[in-house]
A and B are shown apart, each in its own frame.
Chain A
Amino acid sequence: MKADATLDCIGLYCPMPIAHTAKKLKELAVGQVLEILADDEGIKEDMPAWCRATGNELLGIEEEAGGYKIYVKKSK
């Protein structure tokens, strides 16, 4: 998936990945896509919850060896 920016959260535990995502997304324009790299398993549940709460769109979570690639579209 194509992204406008990438955020590396490898090695970080909750709540740092969502805290950094919230901060990073502020720098993007509406409609742009942020790719988040993370390896804390909780992110699989946390990022969808964060997106529901903040009204941003979760485009997908790709599971790979060593972590996850998560795509979030800034929606507002």
Chain B
Amino acid sequence: MPEKVTLAVFSGEMDKALAAFNIAIGAASMGMEVSMFFTFWGLNIIKKNQGPIKSRGLMRKMLNFMNRGGSKRLPLSRFHMFGLGKWMMGRLMRDAKSPSPDELIAMAHEAGVKFIACTTSMGIMGISKEAFIPEVDSFAGVATYLAEAKEGRVNLFV
């Protein structure tokens, strides 16, 4: 039976997402079974880039307007500088032939990494399933995460 690796992806910044996906793709390449649980701000990574996020209530509408998310909209955790820092980091990454978050999502999915979106965060923030990319395998809670994590020896919180 293959070894399991689980990642709890809490952060919604591009640099942290890159680290999470690189570890996930590396682990999948080593024959491990990988699950990524996206929760709270981490949900932004797996939101669709197109279209509005529909939700009910003024506060949720405001939150989803300000916290739109999508793999192309993720800020840097340091030196974002209203987008200038991110633009520069994007240039450096292209120079180094380093894949973008989009490409990493596709690679991870192709390598068999399972994407799970946290339904509690979705409920609190008022985000529906339609807001997410089709690569998301399931919508679940902490028990699903722990059931996977207890069978693995590598558990990371990003």
Q: Which residues of A contact B (CB under 8 A)?
A: 11-16, 18-19, 21-23, 50, 53-54
Q: Which of B9-17, B91-99, B118-126 contacts A (4 or more CB under 8 A)?
A: B91-99
**Can you list 8 residue pairs at the A/B interface with Cβ under 8 Å?**
A11-B97, A12-B97, A13-B96, A15-B23, A19-B26, A22-B28, A50-B30, A54-B30
Complex contact B30–A16 (CB within 8 A): no
Tell me the complex Cα distance, A63–B126, Å. 55
Count of inter-chain pairs, beta carbons less than 8 A: 36
Most chain-A CB neighbours within 10 Å: which of B28, B29, B97?
B29
Question: Taking the nearest CB of chain A, how far is it from the CB of B106, in angstroms?
Answer: 12
B64 within 8 A of A: no
- Which residues of chain B are within 8 angstroms of A53 by Cβ–Cβ distance? 30-31
- For chain B, the count of residues having a C-beta within 8 Å of the partner chain is 14
- Cβ A18 vs Cβ B30 within 8 A: yes
Nearest opposing residue in chain A for B97, CB measure: A11
- Whether A18 and B96, one on each chain, are in contact in the complex, defined by CB atoms closer than 8 angstroms, is no
Please tell me if the beta carbons of B99 and A16 are within 8 angstroms of each other in the complex. yes
Q: A50-B30, A53-B31, A54-B30 are in contact. Are A19 and B97 (CB under 8 A)?
A: no
Per-position contact with A for B83-108: 1 when CB-CB < 8 Å, else 0? 00000000000001111000000010
